[in-house]
Every structure is written in structure tokens, then in C-alpha cells.
Amino acid sequence: RDAELIPNRVHRLDVRGGPSPRLPNTVRTTCVTALNHCHSERLISMPTLNSVGGPKVQCQNCSTRCISMKLYCLMLFGLTMTTVSGYRQSAMPFLRRDSHSVRQTYLAWPFKVRNAGPMMTASVQPDSVLQVWREAGMSQRQASTVWAKRPAGRLPTAERQQALVSWMQAHVLDGAEEPARLTFLTLSGAPRLLLRAGRRFPELQRSFEAVRAALGALSPKQLAYSVAHSPSLLLLPPESVHETQRWLRGTAGLSAFELLAVLGAAPELLLARLDDLQAVADLLRERLGIDGGRLRRIVNLAPSTLLTTVDAIEGKLDFLREELGCDEELVAKLVTRNAKLLISPVSVLRERTRWLERALGVSPSETASWLVTQPDFFSVSQRRCVMLLKWLVSKGVSDDEAAMMMREEPQIMTMSMDELDLRASFFFSVINGTPKDLVQAPQALTCDLGRHMMLRHAYCLSHGVAASPAELLLKGNALFCETVAKCTEDELSAFEAEGKHLQFYQGSVL
């Protein structure tokens, strides 16, 4: 029962915690060189393993520095090896031989250990398990990949692996067009599922039922692809799923319908730690005052925001505040109006502002004041902005005039094409405006058509007042009534209340 390493004999070993005063001062290692497959053995002392980056010992046979030093740590019916990648001088647990023990626990060594391959037991034959996966539709390469990623420990039998795969393809991946490929993605992405094929299989079924209920907004096909690309969902305890749901409903104020939609759009939220989610919510509340309804809006439109790290969000807020010169109030408005702003890389945001300077002539010093007039800028794609500039040019204005119109009337970016076409048709066909008039009054494309152009044009015609398109589009009813219509605002309001301007255009076609 004394601490000892026996590299040349087969024993059933049990790793127990606790320091031992009797430790070997040498360990037997193996040089594994990829080029010439040199497998020379030599003894190295413990202090050698204390070097930064792991042991780098020159091989005596091939005269190369070993790319990996494999330490014989556990042996069970053959050699089982783990790769030592570092060592700390602290209390080491001792290895105890126990021929009566039927349990093997993995290494609890203080130094950092990377698993170089799980233990193979006599009860699980690789060929039988590989055959199960081949029959499920995997290729030989895919099956070998899953086998290479198998977790440490004793795998359930091939029959139970067959039951696991059959259950996955019949229930979890039901509706998928490529069940074999998705089975490979699931098992290779979460190899620990192989251990659930045994006595913990009912636990796996309960976990899937909880996940399927949480992702109820997804179709069977969408659910299959979501699980295949995030297979760790199947390893979540049902209590963890329910706890995340309660947090989203409580902190973000989501309704039951919104909760299904949010989790359907970002299933990875179920895998996130609640502490990380709470840290993001606290940052938005403390830095920007975003909580309640505004936080609910962000989570509904861009649920991946909660998956962003605090450092990444801080970087975007610093960009808006320091590079663009936005104050805290404007930053909060931009984040609320552009829900995906916090999940966009800073490089993308910086390129958008550079395009603003190149295409519209908005200088960096004017960017913040311009964003006040159009806080939805970052939610409008650059492709749409370019398309709108081309649309303005098609109405007879030059490139520079189109850029000036969009710079002075940025609401054009968020108008639908149907609304823009309707206003342009009324401007050119009814009030006989010209492209030059449109350049002078770009608000014709964004104003309330019924309460501005139609009302004022009908009032002037009914009272014999001649008005140019630019005069009809003066901003403010008080200015229009005083300088153009020569009436009071009450008279214009009474004309509108009677609906005479709507009767005036009844039956007309734009």
C-alpha cells in the first residue's frame, strides 16, 4: 500500500487523494516523435517536470526534443497513458494498489494532465461499438472520430450504445433530413453522451424532455439541428433548464410566448451560467439605465446579447463614447433602438461610421449629432443604404444631391419602399414637383402624407392659393399658415376635421 509506480506490471490501481511522504523521485517516460516513431525509454527526475510548458527532454536515440512525454500512470489490462503538460510542486495524491477494488478513478494529480486516450476495458470491444455507429449511417472515418473522442471511464456495452443511437434518431433527431450526419455531430460534440447509454439513460431522457419543452417554438426539424449543433443541451439537468427559464421571465420580464421565441432563437441561453447572464443585465442597468421594458426589447430582438461577455460589451460602449463622442443618454438610446448593436464587432461598427463619412459626407465630429437625428442607423444595413441612394438617383437627382438629401433627412433610411414610392408619386404627379424641388424639400419623402402634403395642397386649391412644392412642405403649420395660406391654424384644423382634403382626392389614382 505504499506509494509506488510500477511501469512494467499490470495492476488495478485506485487513485486516492492526500499527500504521501514516500514518492518516487523518477518517472519513466516515452519519447514519441512523429517523424521516425522513436519509442525510447529513459528515466528523468521530478524537477525536470517542473519546467514551464511541460517536460522537454532530448531523446537519447533520435536526438530530437520530445513533442510529448507520456507518463505511465494507470494500468488496467494493458498500458493506459496520460500526457503530462506541466507540474506543480505540491502535495501529490498517492497511488495505491488494491487488487480487490473494482473501481478506477481518474487522476487527481496536482499537475495539469491532458487525457491522451480513455481506458479500454475488456467488456467494451471497439469493433462492436464501431459497427453500431456504422449501422446508424456513419462513415468509417466518422465512427473512428467518435471513438477517438470517447470519454474516460468504462463505456456501456454495444447493445446499450445501439439503444442510445436508435433513441436519438427516433426522438431527438426526428424530422432531420440527414440523421446520420446529425448523429455524428451530436456524439462528437458531446462524447459524454456515450456514458449516458447505461444506467443514466432515463436521466438523459428527462433532460431531453425539459429541453424540448423549453424550445417549444421550434419545429421537430429545427429542434434536431439545434441539438446537433449544441449537443451539450442533452446533458443539462432539468432543474438547470427550469432555473434559466425562471431567470428570463423574472429579470427580462418575458411572457410565456416571448420566452419560447427567445429560447428558440438562442438555445445556447440554456447552457449559459446564470451568473454570466446576470452580469450582462447588471452592466446594462448600471451603465446605461436599461432595464424593464427596454431590456425586454433588447432580449426579444437580440437574445444573443445576453451571451456576450461583459468585456466585449464594455469595448463597444467605449467605442460609442470615446470614438464617436456619444454621451451616456445617446449611447443608451442607440443600444435600445439597435438591439443587435452589442453583438456586432467593433470593426463592423467602425466601418459603418467610415462609410457614413465617405458616402454621405458626415465628418467624425458630426457623427454624434447626426446619430441623434437617426438613432436607427446601425440597424439599417449598408446594402440598403446604397440601394436607397440609387433609388434617389433614379428620381432625377445627382449622386451628390442624393447623399445630401439622405444626410439632411436621415429618416429616409427607415422608410419602406412602398411609402417612399407613394410620396414620390404624389410629389411628382399631383403637386407637379421637380427633382430640383425634391432636393430643396427632402422631407416630402418622410412627412405624414395625409396631414401635410395632401391637406395643404387641398386647402390651397380650395381657397385659390398658388403654392410651390417647397412652400407646401414648410416645416410647421404655423409658418405655413402665416406665409403661404394666409389663414389661422384653427381654420386649417377645421378644414382637416371636416375631411374636405380627403374628399378632394377621392377617386384619384397615384
Domains of the chain: total: 1
Q: Tell me if 442 is assigned to some domain.
A: no
Distance, in Å, from the CA atom of 207 to the CA atom of 167, rounded to the nearest integer, reads 14
CA-based nearest residue to 353, from 260, 212, 341, 142: 341
Would the pLDDT of 83 be above 70?
A: no
pLDDT tens digit string along 197-220?
989 999 999 999 999 999 999 999
Q: Tell me if 32 is assigned to some domain.
A: no
Average pLDDT over the chain reads: 78
- Asked if 68 contacts 113 with a C-beta cutoff of 8 angstroms, the reply is no
Would the pLDDT of 387 be above 50?
A: yes
Where does residue 233 fall: left (phi above 0), alpha (psi -120 to 50 degrees), or beta otherwise? alpha
Would the pLDDT of 39 be above 70?
A: no
Would the pLDDT of 223 be above 90?
A: yes
Cα separation values, 392 from 214, 254, 413, 462, Å = 47, 41, 11, 32
More confident residue, 179 or 47: 179
- Asked if 266 contacts 226 with a C-beta cutoff of 8 angstroms, the reply is no
Cα separation values, 473 from 158, 289, 392, 490, Å = 79, 38, 18, 19
Query: From the centroid of its chain, how far is CA 123?
Result: 42
Q: Tell me if 198 is assigned to some domain.
A: yes
Would the pLDDT of 143 be above 80?
A: yes
Question: Per-residue pLDDT averaged across 154-159, rounded?
Answer: 90
pLDDT band at 289 (very low <50, low <70, confident <90, very high): very high
More confident residue, 121 or 339: 339
Give residue 502's pLDDT. Answer: 67
Would the pLDDT of 302 be above 70?
A: yes
Question: Per-residue pLDDT averaged across 115-124, rounded?
Answer: 44
Q: Tell me if 169 is assigned to some domain.
A: yes
Query: Cα-flanking dihedrals φ and ψ of residue 66, to 5°?
Result: -65, 130
Q: Tell me if 280 is assigned to some domain.
A: no
- Percent residues over pLDDT 90 in the chain: 58
CA-based nearest residue to 159, from 128, 193, 200, 119: 128
**Alpha helices (H) along 430-505:** 435-440, 453-462, 469-472, 477-480, 489-497, 500-504
pLDDT band at 497 (very low <50, low <70, confident <90, very high): confident
pLDDT tens digit string along 62-81?
444 443 333 333 322 233 33
Give residue 504's pLDDT. Answer: 63
pLDDT tens digit string along 303-361?
999 999 999 999 999 999 999 999 999 999 999 999 899 999 999 999 999 999 999 99
Amino acid at 265: A
Q: Tell me if 290 is assigned to some domain.
A: no
- Percent residues over pLDDT 70 in the chain: 74
Q: Tell me if 262 is assigned to some domain.
A: no
Question: Per-residue pLDDT averaged across 354-382, rounded?
Answer: 93
Q: How many residues does the chain have?
A: 510
Helix (H) or strand (E) holding 405: helix 399-408
- Tell the burial category of 432 from Cβ atoms under 10 Å away from its Cβ (0-12, 13-18, 19+): exposed
Would the pLDDT of 169 be above 50?
A: yes
Q: What's the pTM value of the predicted model, to 2 decimals?
A: 0.67
Dump the DSSP string for 26-90. Answer: EEEEEE--TTT----EEEEEGGGGGSTTS---B-TTT-SB-S-EEEEEEESSSEEEEEE-----S
Domain that residue 188 falls in: 127-236
Q: Tell me if 267 is assigned to some domain.
A: no
